[in-house]
Structure 1
Amino acid sequence: MELELILAIGMFATAILALLAGYPVALTLGGVALIFGIIGVSLDLIPLPILRNLPSRILGSMENQVLIAVPLFVLMGVILERSKVADDLLHTASRLLAGLRGGLGYAVVLVGALLAASTGIVGATVITMTLIALPTMLRQGYDPKLATGTIAASGTLGQIIPPSIVLILLADAVSNANQSAAMRSGQGAGVVSVGDLFAGALLPGLMLVGLYLLYLIITAILRPSASPAVTLDEDIEPLTLWDVTRSLGAPLLLIFAVLGSILGGLASPTEASAIGAGGALLLAGLRLAPEHGRAGDWSSIIGAFVSILLLLTLSNVMDLRLSREVIPTGDWVGIGFAIALCLIVLGGLLSSVRVLVRAQQFGAALTAGVHMTSMVFLILIGASLFALVFRAYGGEHYVEALLTAIPGGLWGALAITMLVMFILGFFLDFIEIVFVVVPIVAPPLIILGADPVWLAILMALNLQTSFLTPPFGFALFYLRGAAPEGVETMDIWKGAIPFIGLQLTMIALVAAIPALATWLPAFVS
């Protein structure tokens, strides 16, 4: 028993050291697990058939309906980022709020929230807003610390505001942990879905945006010189209703379609991810058609949007199911009309693809999406082998014994877990933490009485905070790499500290009032 404990600890420590040394994550997890698995088999501590279960575990992961949503949501974010939708959002929001003291800061936070709900890619959001907004903020006289802190914090909102890749991966990990906890405790396990986490994260995410805006408002009142009103160039043409609708209305419509279809029970997360990817493709085509489209492309894309609205209306007033034994003549007419509308939508999607191809963005978007998706699933395979060997050594039982022995019960174990995850977030990406750490620590916490949805939202907020914490926060590295000359690293670090305090406040609120994370999932279920 003592040798198994030593090998379990050594396995985890070796993986952490190898990751800190810079070795690829997926290969590190799989390689360390393979080495310690061979050691365990040679010492008769692990039966060889356990290692033979790996192919079936990998196949099960590939068939997981939840994880199918990952590549489509990634593609949705990449297409929107490549089509310069973020540029339009930021320019339009900043011009709408130009007359307010601190208006550019408010615009950055609001755009960060919109991009979080449409792209969910932290690195791309931080870099985009740094390149577009930071030079303007500095030129308008903003305090560099306030400007960089606002951009870094707003960029991390993609970790918590749905649809977020973090929440999708956490849903799978916490759902498995909930089932594992039920098997150990002998009690029934409820299903933890992606929709539950999306609903659970929505209120804390919006409250966090509100805290950011409140901090900027107070700063503008107490330190007006740090966040002045924006001065627009006289030669800039005034915004038109079409500019505002195209820049702000279209992304909001896409967000509403994706989240509304999930929370309203109209579509599963996987189906909603397909809606998001298709909608992003149409928005990208609409954005780039004036520059790179040909005759008919723009009208075809507009026709697709109109057809989608007509399809939604038609589906609410008529029964379009083909599985019925008897279909009235009127319904047949509606079904035929719906098929025609679907063909128009398909034509709009093809026109959008042509526009992106001419803009030389379609291949780049697909390549970026494939790279990111491949990284996620390769890490998943490595983490599956790691978890298989770690559990064969009894590692999960040692972790459970350790957490249950901590004074304070659930709250003591939760505090230690959150601290460890926070520190690991300095060095590891959220994907490694979700796939490796969460399956180990979540079952004991659920056995101790933690609600799975509440626990997952706390973990997501924690990972978001570690993204922002100096000196190792990933968002700070992204900002540092894209910031113009003259911006000091210490200014970036100091600017992030107030926002870290706001995020810790949000974690404390969710911990003290679990209903902030659990009320909406219970309401929509």
Structure 2
Amino acid sequence: MIGIIMFFTALFMLLLGFPVAFTFAAVSVFFGMIAGIYEIWSYADPDMTMTAIFLDGLTEGVLMFDFMPFRIMSIMQNTILMAVPMFIFMGIVLQKTGLAERLLESMGFLFGEIRGGVAISTVLVGALLAASTGVVGASVVAMGVISLPVMMKYKYNVSLACGTICASGTLGQIIPPSIVLIILGDVFQVPVGDLFRAAVWPGLALVGAYILYIVVLAFINKETAPAIPPDPSRGSKGKQVVRALIDIIPSLTLILLVLGSIFGGVATPTESAAVGCLGAVGLSFIYRTFSIAMVKEASLESVKITSMVFGILIGATAFSMVFSYTGGEELVEHFMLSLPGDEKWGFIIFTMIAILVLGFFIDFVEISYIIVPILVPIAMALDINPVWFAILIAMNLQTSFLTPPFGFSLFYLKGVAPATVRTTQIYKGVLPFIAIQIIVLLLVAFYPEVFGINPNA
């Protein structure tokens, strides 16, 4: 039970606001000492004093961490995780080139003349940004700054506008190249390219479902998402289409270079990430936004985000080591395998609910490095296809960006939204999109073949 108590202690400390990486590391050391003392006490001679038991237990607890340097070194040498800082750098450079602004302005005018057109264009731009940058915060902020004022100006329902922006910004969690998929590829020890291929159709299904919801809602209630009057200053419809293509083609080219090289077997995800970095810098030349200062700023931001991810990974490694040592994994496995009904589906349903609930309170990185490693051995014992299971988890983790009260997308949008936009309106707006994500998740779970995934492979 020490491992289970340790888990809930770490969760409680996270809810209090302690830094994630330091929380996992500190809790691991503390409970490692307790586990060492408990082990010495369990096998101690009757004549052994409490002081001796305590000191020997502390020594036993310290010895538990002897292999931590080797674990940290294996993290540093992991070629899969090398793709993380490069994809982050690529996304930040593209953000600074003004790619989001160009796409939103062009597609907003292209679709604006139909009801719900600006919201539809926001979803499409969110998908393009997801496939080219994958940085959720940057996508939500960019669309919040540009799309939200336009939708509010033309009397869009505020909740719909906010929900569309938040949901579209989180598409970077499932549409490759995705940092979540790279992390899950490392945790599951499966090729990241396989996860990227398997995530394409579920990601596109989410895009289609979002657009369908907006179209139906705009058709039922015409005041919710009215059409925008044509702007003569933008020229004819043909000129608007040409301008949109000029803005879209460079980003599509970069997407094809990155994902095409992976899907075609030409490059590994790490190598394609390097290609993406060069492509992003190339686009900054094309858009005339390149400067040494921009590259330096993007590099510093990439280092900060990467340090956060790897700091959490090191803390999570210590946590999982102590959790395993104290028998927590065996206890969880026994519980999972004793669930009523079919073992496989009982395990999948329970884990999806658990991850969804945890997503209300903690971030996808912590869930990926703390919860998922506990589930992987059980999934292997039940002969569950790791690629399929990883995609289900990735889609579930995407929902964590939207779920109140701690959904990061909600905070990103609130930070750039006008003062008239209330937090309750943002919360209300994301609820239908959370429901859509859960529906698509269920479809991928029960009909994976429709999405090109073989659950029995």
Structure 2 CA distance, aligned partners of 1:385 and 1:226?
Answer: 50
Q: Following TM superposition, by how much is the alpha carbon of 1:73 offset from its aligned partner in structure 2, in angstroms? A: 0.4
* 1:517/1:170 CA distance change after superposition, 3 Å: farther
Match of 2:15 among 14, 17, 20: 20
Q: Following TM superposition, by how much is the alpha carbon of 1:242 offset from its aligned partner in structure 2, in angstroms? A: 6.3
The yes-or-no answer on 1:202 pairing with 2:200 is: yes
Structure 1 CA distance, aligned partners of 2:336 and 2:454?
Answer: 29
Q: Following TM superposition, by how much is the alpha carbon of 1:49 offset from its aligned partner in structure 2, in angstroms? A: 4.5
Match of 2:291 among 347, 356, 368: 356
The yes-or-no answer on 1:10 pairing with 2:5 is: yes
The yes-or-no answer on 1:479 pairing with 2:417 is: no
What secondary structure sits across from 2:440 in the alignment?
A: helix
Match of 2:304 among 371, 374, 384: 371
Moved more, 70-79 or 408-417: 408-417
Q: Following TM superposition, by how much is the alpha carbon of 1:522 offset from its aligned partner in structure 2, in angstroms? A: 10
Structure 2 CA distance, aligned partners of 1:516 and 1:387?
Answer: 36
Q: Following TM superposition, by how much is the alpha carbon of 1:233 offset from its aligned partner in structure 2, in angstroms? A: 4.2
Partner of 1:393: 326
Could you list the per-position Cα deviations for residues 221-242 of structure 1 after superposition, in whole angstroms to 9, with x for gaps in the alignment? 1112211112354444564676
Q: Following TM superposition, by how much is the alpha carbon of 1:111 offset from its aligned partner in structure 2, in angstroms? A: 0.2
Question: What is the one-letter code of the residue matched to 1:255?
Answer: I
Contact 1:212 1:499 in 2 (8 A): yes
Structure 1 unaligned spans of 5+: 176-191, 290-354
**Aligned pairs (5 A) from 1:263-282:** 263-282=263-282
Structure 2 CA distance, aligned partners of 1:518 and 1:378?
Answer: 35
Question: What is the one-letter code of the residue matched to 1:38?
Answer: M
Partner of 2:181: 167
Q: Following TM superposition, by how much is the alpha carbon of 1:486 offset from its aligned partner in structure 2, in angstroms? A: 1.5
The yes-or-no answer on 1:135 pairing with 2:130 is: no
What secondary structure sits across from 2:72 in the alignment?
A: helix
Structure 1 CA distance, aligned partners of 2:415 and 2:384?
Answer: 39
The yes-or-no answer on 1:404 pairing with 2:345 is: no
Contact 2:401 2:408 in 1 (8 A): yes
Q: TM-score, normalised by structure 1?
A: 0.80
**Aligned pairs (5 A) from 1:82-231:** 82-175=96-189, 192-231=190-229
What secondary structure sits across from 2:177 in the alignment?
A: coil
Q: Following TM superposition, by how much is the alpha carbon of 1:446 offset from its aligned partner in structure 2, in angstroms? A: 2.8
Structure 2 CA distance, aligned partners of 1:519 and 1:418?
Answer: 18
Contact 1:167 1:197 in 2 (8 A): yes
What secondary structure sits across from 2:175 in the alignment?
A: coil
Contact 1:130 1:482 in 2 (8 A): yes
What root-mean-square deviation, in Å, do the aligned CA atoms of Structure 1 and Structure 2 show? Answer: 1.9
Structure 1 CA distance, aligned partners of 2:441 and 2:29?
Answer: 37
Partner of 2:51: none
What secondary structure sits across from 2:39 in the alignment?
A: coil
Could you list the per-position Cα deviations for residues 11-44 of structure 1 after superposition, in whole angstroms to 9, with x for gaps in the alignment? 1111111111111111111111111112223343
* 1:522/1:195 CA distance change after superposition, 3 Å: farther
Match of 1:40 among 15, 32, 35: 35
* 1:160/1:50 CA distance change after superposition, 3 Å: same
Structure 2 CA distance, aligned partners of 1:508 and 1:51?
Answer: 41
Structure 2 CA distance, aligned partners of 1:261 and 1:521?
Answer: 25
Contact 1:426 1:474 in 2 (8 A): no
Structure 2 CA distance, aligned partners of 1:18 and 1:506?
Answer: 33
What secondary structure sits across from 2:228 in the alignment?
A: coil
Q: Following TM superposition, by how much is the alpha carbon of 1:64 offset from its aligned partner in structure 2, in angstroms? A: 0.7
Structure 2 CA distance, aligned partners of 1:216 and 1:241?
Answer: 22
**Aligned pairs (5 A) from 1:255-404:** 255-289=255-289, 355-357=290-292, 360-404=293-337
Structure 2 CA distance, aligned partners of 1:516 and 1:163?
Answer: 22
Contact 1:85 1:284 in 2 (8 A): no
Structure 2 unaligned spans of 5+: 41-59
Match of 1:466 among 374, 380, 400: 400
Match of 2:26 among 17, 31, 36: 31
Structure 1 CA distance, aligned partners of 2:263 and 2:256?
Answer: 10
Contact 1:421 1:433 in 2 (8 A): yes
